[in-house]
Chain A
Amino acid sequence: MKLNALWEYANPKKFIDTTDRVLPWVAWAAAVTLVVGLVWGFFFTPDDYKQGSTVKIIYLHVPAALMAINAWLMMLVTSLVWIVRRHHVSALAARAAAPVGMVMTLIALATGALWGQPMWGTWWAWDPRLTSFLILFLFYLGYIALWEAIENDDTAADLTSILCLVGSVFALLSRYAVNFWNQGLHQGASLSLDKQENVHDVFWYPLLVAMAGFVLLFVALVLVRTRTEIRARRMRALEARERMRA
């Protein structure tokens, strides 16, 4: 493998060919890990002594929250690649990831509200974590709306990638601003690698599987959506050629 091998996939043809082979594996792996992780988590773990069975929503909440942030990070990287090297597949991947990331954010917010109602006694609190997720959701919304609003594909890719860069800075800024603004109700990170007080192993292993499932699901969805975008664009090009000939 040469060092620049990654850039070969910037060729849409090559990308489609490779994902043709990879996608079934990723999709099946996602399905299997999701089913195993969720079934294991929902039915084969004990109830928490304080929270009862509501604790099990963690198997949806934490992976979704993880992917909500990582989807934005992925968009940031692909936007940078688009700005620097102008590979169309990169811009299309960012476009493909945005709605998936937005849905993940929604899942995290909704499951959090469902869990918070019995536990905190409220659906919603202006807690820093909740608030920053709401702001992240707004960023996704603006990003997608900008993609949809601009007709020229290259212009849209340029503008949205710059918006993604600027938005990342402001999202980070907002994250710390809301920390300053209100003290939290949400528990601290329960999964950091360097801490003693993680969740118990009984919950930890199925959670790990569920997280792997969400990562694979995200990859599979982004690949499918990117392929769709590439093909849609190719179709538009063909149609335009037909019109020229007619």
Chain B
Amino acid sequence: MIALLTRDMRLAVRAGGGFGLGLAFFLIVVVLVPFGVGPQSALLSKIAPGILWLGALLACLLSLDRIFALDHEDGSLDLLATSPLPMEGIVSVKALAHWLTTGLPLVLAAPVLGVLLSLPVQGFGWLVVSLALGTPALSVIGTFGAALTVGLKRGGLLLSLLVLPLYVPTLIFGAEVARRGAEGMALGTPLALLAGITCGTIALLPFASAAVLRVNLR
């Protein structure tokens, strides 16, 4: 499993793996927002947590179809499926690799982009915490969606249609944590619920993803 993880990471980081694409997309979304809503810093700082969360979510979505598509094309997914590793393990490692190459950079980049949106000072810490806690759930849910659409030729659009409704609870609680953090309010409840969603998806969803992948490789 470690070998699979390092292989996936190496493939993602090297040229053509799309590493940094999500990051660039995140940057562009955040840069475009002030052009859309106007440069008043009062307004920007009010919507900054939501925009940052939404940007991170979309950047995450952008890279989902890479989780299985390339491996499916060159047949290495079939090899993995016949390997002694359980399918649930493969799916979990894939999700982890996706998070390490997409989610984690987004978490680290978010404070820098927060400056651009004049996020209040006390909000930075909670923004990073909420993203660090929420993006693993995004990766795991996205892996499920990617597993559903792996065999399809033009699965990209369908993938977003399937995954976006599943992202709703995570987005609500994550953005709520970031917003309350920025406004200096109490945020124990959404934080606990966000952590609950992340733990629950990590624990349960790989079984569904593995079942779906088995069907698709049949």
Stretch at the interface among A26-34, A109-117, A154-162: A154-162
Contact partners of B176 in chain A: CB under 8 A: 180-181
Which of B77-85, B118-126, B166-174 contacts the other chain?
Answer: B166-174
* B172 near A167: Cβ-Cβ < 8 Å: no
Main secondary structure of the interface of B (DSSP, over half): helix
Would you call A149 and B152 a contact (CB within 8 A)? yes
Q: Which stretch, B12-20, B22-30, B157-165, touches the partner chain A?
A: B157-165
Assembly CA distance A178 to B175 (angstroms): 12
Knowing A145-B161, A149-B158, A155-B215, the reply to whether A135 touches B168 (Cβ < 8 A) is yes
Of residues 1 through 56 on chain B, the ones whose CB sits less than 8 Å from some CB of chain A are: none
CB nearest neighbor in A for B211 = A162
B166–A141 CB distance below 8 A = no
Q: How far is the CB of B77 from chain A (nearest CB, A)?
A: 16
Per-residue contact bits, chain A 159-180, to B (CB 8 Å; 1 contact, 0 not): 1001101110011011001101
The reply on B76 being an interface residue by CB < 8 A is no
Q: Give the chain B neighbours of A180 by CB distance below 8 A.
A: 172-173, 176, 189-190, 193
* Smallest CB separation, A152 vs chain B (Å): 9
How many A residues, CB 8 Å from partner?
25
Which residue of A135, A167, A177 contacts B173 across the interface (Cβ within 8 Å)?
A177
Q: Is A138 an interface residue (CB 8 A)?
A: yes
Does B116 sit within 8 A of A, measured CB to CB? no
Contact B218 A159 (CB under 8 A): no
Chain B CB within 8 A of A146 CB: yes
Is the CB–CB distance between B169 and A162 below 8 Å? no
Query: CB-CB < 8 A to A135: which residues of B?
Result: 165, 168
Q: Which residues of B contact A145 (CB under 8 A)?
A: 158, 161-162
For B190, list chain A residues within 8 Å (CB): 180
Query: B164 — which chain A residues lie within 8 A by C-beta?
Result: 138
CA distance A174 to B197 in the complex (A): 11
A139 pairs with B165, CB closer than 8 A: yes
Assess whether A150 is interfacial by the CB under 8 Å rule: yes
B212 interface contact, C-beta 8 A? yes
Q: Given the complex of chains A and B, what is the CA–CA distance between A138 and B84 in angstroms?
A: 38
In the complex, chain B residues whose CB is within 8 Å of the CB of A177:
168-169, 172-173, 193
Chain B interface (Cβ within 8 Å of chain A)? 144, 148-149, 151-152, 155, 158, 161-162, 164-166, 168-169, 172-173, 176, 189-190, 193, 197, 205, 208, 211-212, 215-216, 218
Extra inter-chain contacts (13) besides given A145-B158, A162-B148, CB under 8 Å:
A142-B161, A145-B161, A145-B162, A150-B152, A159-B212, A163-B148, A167-B165, A170-B166, A173-B197, A174-B169, A174-B172, A177-B172, A177-B173
